[in-house]
Chain A
Amino acid sequence: MRLLSAFIVGLIFGVGIAISGMINPAKVLNFFDIAGTWDPSLAFVMGGALITTFIGYRFVLRRPAPVIEAKFLLPTARDIDARLVGGSAVFGLGWGIAGFCPGAALPALGSGKWEVAAFIAALVAGIWVARMAQARGAPRATA
């Protein structure tokens, strides 16, 4: 039940990423290239996703618990610190260099393009190194 629901949720996400154009780094980079070959499509992806999630969460989070798990597992961190801002800035830098973000790259693996596999390998290496560095320093949970 848990596996099937996770697969279906992933499938809907993957279809969404695919038909929205988020799956295409050329399109993503063009969204960020206002001074050049600008393609504003990504604003519609973000808009559609945000409005749907905003409305959907209002109804879902009103329920006492989710269907499969015992309780909602929402992030509890509240502090806006250097780690959050610095990490996000570093992410923005990498996104601008490669054109892929993690949520777009995973479905893009289905295209069979070797560039996607190369990105995912480097991404996983980066996550692993950062996790190791965090484990050596002050231990802290990451969402």
Chain B
Amino acid sequence: MCDRIEGRDVMTGLETAFTPLQSLAGGVLIGLSAVMLMFLQGRIMGATGILAGLVTGTAPGERSWRAAMVAGMIAGPLLVLAVTGQMPAVDVPVSLPMILVGGFIVGIGVTYGSGCTSGHGVCGMARLSPRSIVATLTFMVVCFATVYVIRHVLGV
């Protein structure tokens, strides 16, 4: 990540291209899926709730549709690959311990916070839910601060 040995600029390996149009189009699709789930099943499109229901759900009827939805999600990038001939980039610029610690912390946080980027950030904000607005502002601000500290204070 911080490769000085080859004399490259420290930041070069981290840069990603600014993609406003693809990002906007992808965002519209995410919103469309949320609207469809509300229209069809009357539910909030929240990855936390879907995953938690799949992991800790009790009734089998509650599990099967969530499993189908997760299967659809996983098929998403494969469909993009089939259509464009290119797998969307998934570059993980952090170490395995950071992935594991971060993942565990995210699991604790979204359970106590009752949602994540999709549930609070998209669906809850679209409903103008005060809880979701507070939750979204909180995790966004903390995430900005965390990345700042990791990259510019600790220099990881």
Interface residues of A (CB under 8 A from B): 2-27, 29-30, 32-37, 39-42, 44-54, 56-57, 60-61, 63, 65-69, 71-75, 77-80, 83-111, 113, 115-116, 118-131, 134, 142-143
Contact = CB atoms under 8 A, between A and B. Distances in A.
Contacts, number: 523
A67 B105 CA distance: 36
Nearest to A58: B126
Nearest to B110: A91
- Tell me the interface secondary structure of chain B in the complex: helix
Given A10-B69, A45-B27, A57-B127, A75 B114 contact: yes
B23 A45 contact: yes
Contacts of B117: 95, 101-104
Nearest to B87: A111
Interface string B13-57: 011111111111111111111111111111111111111100110
Given A5-B41, A119-B103, A143-B48, A14 B74 contact: yes
A32 B76 contact: no
5 contacts: A2-B65, A16-B26, A30-B16, A87-B109, A89-B109
* Residues of B in contact with A, size category: 35 or more
Given A12-B32, A111-B90, A143-B44, A84 B76 contact: no
B76 A16 contact: yes
Contacts of B45: 9, 13
B51 A67 contact: no
B152 interface: yes
